[in-house]
Amino acid sequence: MFRRHTHHNPAPESPAGEHADSPLGPPVQTLGKRVGYFELSSRPLMMLVFLLPLIIAYEVGSVLFLTSNESTADGILARRLLAQVFELFGAVGLVLPGLMVITVLGLQHILRRDPWRVHLGVLPLMVLEALVLTAPLLVLAVALGSGITAAAATGSPAATLLDLPWTDRLTIAIGAGVYEELVFRLMLITLVHFVVVDLIGRRDGLGRFLGVVLSALAFAVYHDLNPDGQGIDLRRLAFFFAAGVYFGVLFLWRGLGMPVAVHVVYDVLVLLVLVDEPAG
């Protein structure tokens, strides 16, 4: 999809069997180089294993907690748009957005011809990385003074979301992270890059730049920029645009898994941790 550089940690060649096991498991050898964390965690198969629990959690949670409430079931606009596209498939269309993530990552894995091996030791490090990479978003939100709100999770009215049980809010936070990144990063950046580079014939760098900027602009417009009904809040616009750029850069640098995880962590903090529990 993109000509993205990956990170390798070179190691001296040695006879087979002389490598000590690392926290990631036995080191993988590729042309005399030991494959490190950044390479392993960027592989589509590892991203798929990393994201699969989130996809399952949202799909199960949406059935258990959201389907009885029309406003919450429609709360994640990105997911609703995808579901409308797949309406032709009937009831199966409800789960096709999640299957789309699985299919895309699975095809990427096959096309790259990566080994069919899951390094379980990488997963905790990916979680830790996601927590660390969420910090800049929180700093940005505090600096702008209007980013940390419940509406930041899904574009839905904050009052509506904060009146929901924590199970509903958790489900929405997970779904927003998965499906907004699917739409705005994987689909939109890829589409812009394809048009600019493959159809128009411009440079790869320009395709990446325009993909990130245009997807960030769409991401900002997607959210509620007029919460008080008094015109566009420029601070909120700046926050969502900057967040979109941040997610876009993460996508180009680390693949789909990390921006999804960071998005989910941020939304969970917004909807469950950094707000007072609603009464009742």
What's the pLDDT tens digit per position in 47-75? 999 999 999 998 888 778 776 554 444 44
Burial of 138 (0-12, 13-18, 19+ CB in 10 A): middle
Q: What is the pLDDT of residue 11?
A: 44
Tell me the C-alpha to C-alpha distance, in Å, between residue 129 and each of 34, 124, 254, 259. Answer: 21, 9, 11, 11
Structural contact between residues 152 and 280, judged by C-beta atoms closer than 8 angstroms: no
The whole-number pLDDT of residue 5 equals 45
d(CA 50, CA 133): 16
- Give pLDDT, residue 176: 86
Alpha helices by DSSP H, 94-165: 96-112, 122-144, 151-154, 158-162
pLDDT at residue 223, rounded to an integer: 79
Low-confidence spans in the chain with pLDDT less than 50? 4-32, 70-75, 85-86, 88-93, 147, 152-154, 159, 276-280
pLDDT number for residue 215: 96
